[in-house]
Structure formats: structure tokens, C-alpha cells
Amino acid sequence: MRNLIKRSIDLILSVIALVVFSPLFIIIIIILVLTGEHEVFYPQSRIGYLNVPFKIIKFATMVKNSPNIGTGSITLRNDPRVTKFGRFLRKTKLNELPQIINVIIGQMSIVGPRPQMMADFIKFPKHIQVSLYDVKPGITGIGSIIFRDEETWISNADGDKHEYYKQHIAPYKGELELWYQNHHSIYTDVKLIFLTAWVVLFSKSNLVFKVFRDLPERPEELK
């Protein structure tokens, strides 16, 4: 019953969002056609519900063939692969808007663990890999909120960026997503949607740790 209610809410909210944001969609599409790589959408293979791959839909923000250039699946702060307009879209999270379509199709939920590329998914500890997507991946979630500045952490890390992600970010991010599954409710989702909007406006805020006081403790490297 809970899954049916969640699916109904996802469908209603995503259809409303698609209608409300349609003027913004049109503006972004026109700008992308006229600038950068002249690409509008970027479908990318991600790990989805029950570890089944699917194509996530995002606005194009990087140069073509970017996964095979530079740091690959990891994006750094001021990454040269990101276009000028793409930088704005990523900062405001507007590049995620087309995922409303993924929600309508039923591949994603509004709230859930972020769907990972296979290259990053395999960096998670094995016990997290097997249960990370026992719920549908989401446009936003507890991991997305806390790791909103992930690019900066990775950029400031010494040594191999992929190894830093594997050793420090993936384990904690995974524990956060397992926490979400254990506390999964409509009320939790409502609070996470509010917190998503909050951190877009106040990027340095730690309000999430006050709203959810029983979150897994952050490692020293991520404080």
C-alpha cells in the first residue's frame, strides 16, 4: 500500500511539475540548442531499481564524450568539460529537471537514492551494492542533500580522485541511503523535498542534521 501511495504521489507531482516548468523547459532547450555543444538532452546509463540499468534523462551540461575524457565519471569543481551554461544548470540543479520524465515512466521516484553510473556503483561496499536500489532511485534524497558539494570535496582531495570516492564518499553515501530505506515514509520524503529546496537556496546549511538527528555519523574526512 505504501508503495502504491508513493507512486501515486510521484505521478501527480511530476505531472504538475512538468506543466509548471514547461516554460522553463522551453527556455533551457532554446539556449542549449544555440550554445555549447548544441545538445539538449543527455541520456545516460545508470543503475536503477533492483540494480537493473536504465537511461536517465538530463539536460546536457558537458562536452561530448565527457565520460571518456579527464576524470571520467567523477566531475570536479570548475571541471573544464562542463560548458558555461552547463555550469549554471548544474549549480541550480536545473539539469535534473528532465528526470521528471523518468518519474512519470516509473523508472524513478521523486525521492530516493541517486542512480549511479556503473563505474561509481562498483565503488560502493558489496553489502551496500546488494540493497542500495531495493527502492527506486530518486531525483533527490538524503545522499544528494548531504553530498550537494561533492565536487568540491573530491577536487580538494589529494591523490587519485576515484580512490578517494571509493574510500571516503561511497561508504558514507551508501550508509545514508540504507538509513533512508529504514526510515522510508511519506513524511520523510516531504522533509527531504523541503531540505532539497533549502540547500539550493542556502548551500552551506547543515539543517539536514538538525531535522534528522539519527543519521549515520559523518567520517572525520567529510566534516
Q: Averaged over 62-86, what is the pLDDT?
A: 78
Beta strands in 62-210 (DSSP E): 109-111, 138-140
Res 159: pLDDT: 84
For the ranges 53-67, 99-113, 157-171, the one whose mean pLDDT is highest = 99-113
The verdict on pTM exceeding 0.85 is yes
Query: Any idea where the domains of the chain sit in the sequence?
Result: 2-222
pLDDT surpasses 80 at 65: no
CA distance 45 to 94: 19
Q: Averaged over 14-33, what is the pLDDT?
A: 95
Lowest average pLDDT, out of 45-54, 60-69, 84-93, goes to 60-69
CA distance 90 to 88: 5
CA distance 142 to 189: 9
Q: Assign 62 a pLDDT band (cuts: 50, 70, 90).
A: confident
Residues in the chain: 223
For the ranges 2-11, 36-45, 67-76, 102-111, the one whose mean pLDDT is highest = 102-111
The C-alpha cell of 29 is what? Answer: 532547450
Res 177: pLDDT: 96
The C-alpha cell of 135 is what? Answer: 527502492
Res 74: pLDDT: 73
Over the chain, what is the mean pLDDT? 91
Res 103: pLDDT: 97
CA distance 192 to 211: 9
Q: What is the pLDDT of residues 137-187, one digit of tens each?
A: 999 999 999 998 888 888 887 888 889 899 989 999 999 999 999 999 999
β-strands 53-59, 109-111 pairing? unpaired
Q: Assign 17 a pLDDT band (cuts: 50, 70, 90).
A: very high
CA distance 165 to 157: 9
CB proximity list for 183: less than 8 A, separation 6 or greater: 212
Q: Assign 212 a pLDDT band (cuts: 50, 70, 90).
A: very high
